[in-house]
């Protein structure tokens, strides 16, 4: 199977406001960005054409500073993709001291959403000063249970971040704020 990392890098350079990835299992190219729509195509050129129909290398509208959104549906390795997004955001925002904790928290939250809830799964990251908020939304209106964390995962997440769960009719959002105020 070909390595698509260079093509992904080129598309990200051309369209910096978009999160772009290739689904190796499906062969589909994906982009999620400022329009808050998930765009898919069968080829990288098809994706570029859908992102910029005029074909010009125009400057894309950037999302608000200190925010990132990533749809994880259709990604064959959503936890790895989420960890990479957190790592990139934390480094870009100068919150390196939160990196290890943020990667662990996002791994647990996305794993639980994939294993116990289902689509649509969306990762949102936000920075406010030295505080990082990780939000994972999913399609299940059921609150997370301690058993969903595989035992100790929920305890570890709660020890690292302030956790808040917001239920909706069509799903829920788990908010994790780092660092904990009492930590």
Question: In sequence order, what are the residues at sequence separation of 6 or more whose Cβ sits closer than 8 angstroms to the Cβ of residue 123?
Answer: 68, 69, 70, 71, 72, 82, 85, 86, 106, 110, 134, 135, 136
pLDDT tier, 118 (very low <50, low <70, confident <90, very high otherwise): confident
Q: By C-alpha distance, which of 75, 71, 73, 70 is closest to 86?
A: 70
Average pLDDT, the chain: 81
- Residue 53's pLDDT is what? 59
Which value, in Å, is the radius of gyration of the alpha carbons in the chain?
17
- Residue 150's pLDDT is what? 53
Domain limits, the chain? 1-62, 64-183
CATH 3.30.565.10 fits 64-183, yes or no: yes
Average pLDDT of the residues in 97-122 = 92
Model confidence at 107: pLDDT above 90: yes
**Is the whole model's pTM more than 0.85, yes or no?**
no
Average pLDDT of the residues in 166-175 = 89
Query: How far is 13 from 52, CA to CA, in rounded Å?
Result: 13
Model confidence at 59: pLDDT above 50: no
């Amino acid at each position: 199977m070909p390595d698509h990392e260079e093509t992904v890098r080129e598309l990200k350079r051309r369209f910096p406001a978009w999160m772009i990835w290739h689904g190796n299992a499906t062969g589909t190219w994906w982009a999620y960005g400022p329009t808050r729509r998930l765009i898919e195509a069968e080829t990288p050129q098809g994706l570029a054409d859908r992102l910029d129909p005029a074909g010009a290398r125009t400057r894309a509208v950037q999302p608000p500073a200190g925010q990132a959104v990533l749809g994880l549906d259709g990604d064959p390795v959503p936890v790895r993709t989420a960890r990479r997004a957190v790592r990139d955001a934390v480094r870009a925002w100068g919150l390196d001291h939160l990196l290890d904790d943020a990667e662990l928290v996002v791994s647990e939250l996305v794993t639980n959403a994939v294993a116990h809830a289902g689509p649509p799964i969306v990762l949102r990251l936000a920075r406010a000063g030295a505080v990082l908020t990780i939000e994972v939304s999913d399609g299940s209106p059921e609150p997370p249970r301690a058993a969903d964390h595989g035992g100790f995962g929920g305890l570890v997440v709660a020890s690292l971040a302030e956790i808040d769960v917001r239920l909706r009719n069509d799903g829920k959002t788990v908010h994790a704020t780092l660092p904990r105020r009492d930590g």
